[in-house]
Chain A
Amino acid sequence: QKEVEQNSGPLSVPEGAIASLNCTYSDRGSQSFFWYRQYSGKSPELIMFIYSNGDKEDGRFTAQLNKASQYVSLLIRDSQPSDSATYLCAAGGGISYDKVIFGPGTSLSVIP
C-alpha cells in the first residue's frame, strides 16, 4: 500500500516565524512531489512542486526533497496569518495525476 504520511497537527507558529511542514512517502518509485494549500471549506491550491533532490524556492516557500530518505518538506518563511490552512503533501509515481497519492494534510495556524 503506497502511502504519504504527514503530522496532522495542528502546527502553531507565531507571525513572522518559519513554519516547517514535513512529509514522508513509502513508494521509492515516486518521481514528482507536490504541496497544496487548502483553506477550510475550499479546494486545494497547488503552491509548490518538486522533482529533483535538493531545494526549490518560490517567494516565501521552499520545498526540500530527499529521495534517499523519502522525505519532503515545505518551509514557509515570514509566516502570515493568511498562511493558516491545511497543507497537503502528495507524491506521484508516474506522469499522470491518477498515480498521485495525497497525504492527510497538516493543519497550520499562524498566531498574530
Chain B
Amino acid sequence: EAGVTQSPTHLIKTRGQQATLRCSPISGHTSVYWYQQALGLGLQFLLWYDEGEERNRGNFPPRFSGRQFPNYSSELNVNALELEDSALYLCASSRSRTGLNTFGSGTRLTVV
C-alpha cells in the first residue's frame, strides 16, 4: 500500500509569489489534514478536508487556502508568500474523521 505522497519535495519561492503544494492520501482515506512545521515550533494545524469539503481551518490568514478533489487528493495554496512562511508543510490522511493519521514526507517551502 502506497503511503501519503506529497509534491514537490522542495520548493523555493520569492516573497510575494504563490505556492501550490500537493498531497495524495493513502488509497481509501477520505480525510486530509495540512500542517505547518516551522523551525523550532510544533506542528500547527492548517486545514482539514473530508469528503471534498473543508471541515475546519487553523489560526492562519486567508492567504492559506486549499481544496480537495473528487479522488480525495488535495492541494494547499499559499498566496502572497512571506519570509515566515518558510517551513515544512506536512499532509496527513486518515480513513475517516476519527481514524488515526498517517503523515506524508512533507514539502519544504523556502521563501527568499
Set of chain B residues within 8 Å of A88, measured between Cβ atoms: 42-43
A46 to B105, CA, bound (A): 13
User: Is the CB–CB distance between B42 and A102 below 8 Å?
Assistant: yes
B97 touches A96 (CB 8 A): yes
Interface contact A43-B103, CB-CB below 8 Å = yes
If over half of A's interface residues share one DSSP class (helix, strand or loop), that class is named, otherwise mixed; here it is mixed
Contact of B94 among A42, A44, A49, A97 (CB under 8 A): A97
How many residues on A have C-beta within 8 angstroms of the other chain's C-beta atoms? 18
Is the C-beta of B63 less than 8 angstroms from some C-beta in chain A?
no
Number of B residues with CB within 8 Å of any CB on chain A: 25
How many angstroms from the CA of A102 to the CA of B103 in the assembled complex? Answer: 14
On whether A46 and B101 interact (CB within 8 A), knowing A97-B92, A98-B55, the answer reads: yes
Residue on A nearest B6 in the bound complex, by CB:
A43
Closest B-chain residue to A42, C-beta based?
B105
Bound CA–CA A97/B47 (angstroms):
10
Q: Are A97 and B33 in contact (CB under 8 A)?
A: yes
When the two chains form their complex, are residues B48 and A96 in contact, meaning their CB atoms are under 8 A apart? Answer: yes
Which residues on the B side are within 8 Å of A4 (C-beta)? 42
The residue in chain B whose Cβ has the minimal distance to the Cβ of A96 is B97
B residues near A46, Cβ cutoff 8 Å = 100-102
Assembly CA distance A88 to B43 (angstroms): 9
Which residues from chain A contact B48 at a C-beta distance below 8 Å?
96-98
Distance in angstroms from B71 CB to nearest chain A CB is: 21
Known: A43-B104, A43-B106, A97-B45. 9 other contacts (CB 8 A): A42-B105, A45-B103, A90-B43, A96-B55, A97-B101, A98-B48, A102-B44, A104-B40, A105-B42
6 nearest interchain CB pairs? A102-B43, A43-B103, A98-B56, A98-B48, A102-B42, A104-B42
In the complex, 21 of the A-B residue pairs with CB atoms within 8 angstroms, ordered by the A residue number, are: A42-B105, A43-B103, A43-B106, A44-B43, A44-B103, A46-B102, A88-B42, A95-B97, A95-B98, A96-B31, A96-B56, A97-B92, A97-B94, A97-B101, A98-B33, A98-B45, A98-B55, A98-B58, A102-B35, A104-B40, A104-B42
